[in-house]
A and B are shown apart, each in its own frame.
Chain A
Amino acid sequence: MSLLEIEGLDLDIHGAPILRGVSMSVAPGQIVGVIGESGSGKSMTAFAVLQLLPEGAMCRGRVELNGHDMLGLPEPSLCRLRGNEVGMVFQEPMTALNPIKTIGEQVAETILIHEDVSKRAAMARAREALDRCELPGDRFPMSRYPHELSGGQRQRVVIAMAIALRPKLLIADEPTTALDVTTQAEILRLIRRLVEEDSMGCMLITHDLAVVADMADEIVIMRRGEVVEAGPTAQVFAEMNHPYTRALFEASGHQPVREAQTQSVPLLQVRDAVRDYALPRNRLFAPQDYFRAVNRVSLTIERGESLGLVGESGCGKSTLTRAILGLEELQGGEILLDGAPVFSGHQPNRAVRRRMQVVFQDPYGSFNPRWKVARLVAEPFHLMDARPADWRDQVAKVLEDVGIGADAMHRYIHEFSGGQRQRIAIARALILRPELVVLDEAVSALDVSIRAQILDLLAALQKDYGLSYLFISHDLSVVRNITDRVLVMRAGEIVEQGKTAAVFDNPQNWYTKKLIEAAPVLPDHGVAGGGAE
């Protein structure tokens, strides 16, 4: 018998249809991967199981968890089930924990809420749960606060909270999306181990096909609130009956058509770059200590080249990017664009700055919401001495080039979707016709199908505008598909570099090997892969 049975689930929120006829089931000890892009309703399905829906939500259909009719139960009974029979892990470990309570208290709370035990006994069991989640007591005492832990460690605390009472079902909503690849691999391994040990059922929600391909016994593919395809993982990957499944699969491993157009002329040269940050002083007259975020890094980007820079959070890639863009001064070494220094004196060199532009990760946070698109896109003109008379025509042209259309000029940014905003960000980067565009995790926040379109756009623009790209990402598969050469950065240093294909096929450095091994891979099209191990 199934542990979780969802049948014909409809969900409306304030009358807007969110889910339509969703059916799926999870058996004990089984991992079911729920895959979809944003707005597909995958998270809402999870919240419908827990009945933790936003106000104005109306459910119809049947959700049965271990014999309980979740849609019919009153709130107090639901509270008794949540945390006890079903545990949940969320996407954002940085914000999922209460910042002012210790990790011990927070894990013990799950136990105290549901069982009539002493605080002491609850703490002992919390300790056990943390141990099971590989947070040993000597390094992670219960008195730690969340801010003293890294993202991966916090996610382990959230998992410990979810499994403290050994629930029958674990719902993990994008549990690794916010984490680095190596941390992702560890968290996924942990979840798999816990599922096996406790014979839990697990509903693993993700947008990343490659993650479930390795993990899930069954997968359910959702789109616009409906299930479009479901079945055993190997079978779904082999058959791909629904066109959307195929589109999703193709978009996930999308390789834009691009021809190498590297000329052997160096455009950007970074020589022995050093970036130190002053650390806070511990004592009043203590000598100033520094943290070296970038340690003697050298690199060259040639004209027309796409260079990838990969590394995990904290490796120094963002710091290096800021230095290249002239946003921060170096403490040693130099950065030259076409022979001219990015920083002259202690001032960024405007003549150089206007020849390179940047596109950031977050298409929501990187625009002033009170400006119209025309003004947003025209903003880089302040790097010129005067705004050209035909600036409106130039804005219109570049908006056409990125596939948005000139009529967008008179609209505000909130009227656009994430993918469209990223196109506008690219337009803003291109308005000065730069030679180098820095793409700082520029496609990381996008859904796979949108990401594929943006990658195609970038490839096309590179040709039309004669651009060089510095492509910074933690996502190895994307870097592999769009760059000519790749640099691997770790702890402020470049540990490996070379032609992209060569580095990925035959990594030399142990760290590069570890990164590549940790990255989940899609099975080849049409070939059965993944499944339970």
Chain B
Amino acid sequence: MLRYALKRLVSLAISLVVASVVIFAMVEVVPGDPAAYMLGINATEETLNALRDQLGLNGTLLERYAGWVGGMLRGDFGTSYTYRTPVAEMIGERLWISLPLALFALTLSTAIAFPAGIWAASKRGSLVDTSVMGVTQLGVAIPNFWFAMLMVLVFAINLRWFNAGGFAGWDAGILPAMKSLTLPAIALALPQASILARVMRSSLLDTLGEDFIRTARAKGLSKRQALWRHALRNALIPVLTIIGLQFSFLMAGAIIIENVFFLPGLGRLVFQSISARDLIVVESVVMLLVFAVVMVNFAVDLAYAVVDPRLRVRA
């Protein structure tokens, strides 16, 4: 198990290095000079050069890459070209919204998907199964921003249970902060829950058709016992894969929902930075997201090994 974890760690490190090189290279080839963008068209070559020096844009490629990576390792992500504030600070603020939002949404989607998927699988072909399949079909088909707008209309504008947007801030206390994340989290969670429930159901049905379930039944286990004791854990592998992918998506892909609810999250930060050519912010946020995705995959890999003893050996 330890060796498995170590191997995963090595591959994690390699992924991070490769990703940093790719991100750096992409930002390098993007046309547009941040210094020119910041100073406007009337700037002289001298002032431009001075600013480039200040921003660390004048070294060789290798120097700049080393400077960027070294800075990140120390927690120094550089200074935003547009806001003139440290990127680390900007990311830090936004992370405190995006990360809780992603975790909230993931918890919701798992809490909905597991029971729904298990229930549908255990009553295959019944009314329950058909309804779960029908509802999740809708959930997959309807885009989440439409859900979001619908919820704003019903719960914020008509019923006035929630605010229509904005973030209360963690200073206001956990409950108000969570309350302002609730509608966005639900909007993010519903399509994810639909997909996850369907994966759970089909994976569980596959497992329930396996020979060892028949063996368990021949031992005297009831259908229910066989499902909970033998099928569920075996059915988890594909479900874990989807959860990992979904978490990665939630971290980076919440842009639209953040916009609908006026949440200052990472997604909006990336969007704004790209429009403003604030490449150092883009670079850093993208690298951070890559880091998050890689870490989630690492966690999912470890979870695989916990679930399935065969993987501990194979690696």
Q: Which A residues lie at the B interface, using CB under 8 A?
A: 50, 52, 75-76, 79-84, 87-88, 90, 92, 95-101, 109-110, 113-114, 145, 147-148, 158, 161-162
Contacts and interface: CB of A to CB of B under 8 A. Distances in A.
A99 B215 CA distance: 12
Contact of B222 (A75, A95, A98): A75
Q: How large is the interface on B (under 10, 10 to 19, 20 to 34, 35 or more residues)?
A: 20 to 34
B94 interface: no
A145 B220 contact: no
B219 A109 contact: yes
A113 B220 CA distance: 7
Given A100-B309, A147-B309, A88 B218 contact: yes
Given A145-B310, A147-B310, A95 B212 contact: yes
Given A95-B211, A99-B310, A100-B309, A82 B234 contact: no
A82 B225 CA distance: 14
Given A99-B308, A100-B233, A145-B310, A83 B212 contact: no
A98 B310 contact: no
Contacts of A75: 222
Interface in B183-227: 210-212, 214-222, 225
Interface in B278-315: 307-310, 313
14 contacts: A52-B214, A75-B222, A79-B222, A81-B220, A82-B218, A83-B218, A87-B218, A90-B211, A95-B210, A100-B307, A109-B229, A110-B219, A145-B309, A161-B215
Interface in B47-74: none
B10 to A, nearest CB: 9
A81 B220 CA distance: 7
Choose among A82, A148, A158 the residue with the greatest number of B CB atoms under 10 Å from its CB: A82
Contacts of A82: 217-220
B219 A161 contact: yes
Contacts of A145: 309-310
Contacts of B210: 95
Contacts of B212: 95-99
A90 B217 contact: no
Contacts of A50: 218
A110 B218 CA distance: 9
Contacts of A87: 218
B230 interface: yes
B314 to A, nearest CB: 9
A381 B238 CA distance: 40
Contact of A92 (B211, B221, B225, B309): B211
Contacts of A99: 212, 234, 308-310
A179 to B, nearest CB: 15
B220 A110 contact: yes
Given A75-B222, A76-B222, A100 B308 contact: yes
Given A99-B308, A100-B308, A113 B211 contact: no
A95 B209 CA distance: 11
A506 to B, nearest CB: 42
A110 B229 CA distance: 13
Contacts of A96: 211-212, 214-215
Contacts of B229: 109
Given A99-B310, A100-B234, A52 B211 contact: no
A406 B70 CA distance: 73
A510 B62 CA distance: 69
Contacts of B211: 90, 92, 95-96
Contacts of B219: 82-83, 109-110, 113, 161
A95 B313 CA distance: 19
Given A52-B218, A81-B220, A82-B217, 11 more contacts: A79-B221, A88-B218, A90-B211, A98-B212, A98-B216, A98-B230, A100-B234, A110-B219, A110-B220, A113-B220, A162-B218
A101 B212 CA distance: 11
Contacts of B216: 98, 109
Nearest to B310: A147
Interface string B223-243: 001000110011000000000
A-B interface, 7 closest residue pairs, ranked by CB to CB distance from nearest: A83-B220, A83-B219, A95-B211, A88-B218, A82-B220, A98-B212, A145-B309
A161 B221 CA distance: 13
A110 B220 CA distance: 7
Contacts of A84: 220
Contacts of B307: 100
A110 B309 CA distance: 22
Nearest to A147: B310
B209 to A, nearest CB: 11
B157 to A, nearest CB: 49
Nearest to B222: A79
Given A100-B234, A100-B308, A100-B309, A52 B215 contact: no
A147 B215 CA distance: 16
Nearest to A148: B313
B217 A52 contact: yes
Contacts of B222: 75-76, 79
A95 B217 CA distance: 14
Nearest to B217: A52
A327 B234 CA distance: 35
Contacts of A109: 216, 219, 221, 229
A113 B222 CA distance: 10
Choose among B217, B218, B221, B313 the residue with the greatest number of A CB atoms under 10 Å from its CB: B218
A50 B307 CA distance: 31
Nearest to A55: B125
Given A145-B309, A147-B310, A114 B220 contact: yes
B309 A90 contact: no
B142 to A, nearest CB: 33
A352 B229 CA distance: 54
Nearest to A105: B229
Contacts of B221: 79, 83, 109, 113
A75 B225 CA distance: 13
B6 to A, nearest CB: 10
Contacts of A161: 215, 219
Contacts of A158: 215
Contacts of A92: 211
B91 to A, nearest CB: 35
Contacts of A76: 222
Nearest to B306: A100
A83 B218 CA distance: 6
A292 to B, nearest CB: 22
Contacts of B233: 100
Nearest to A99: B310
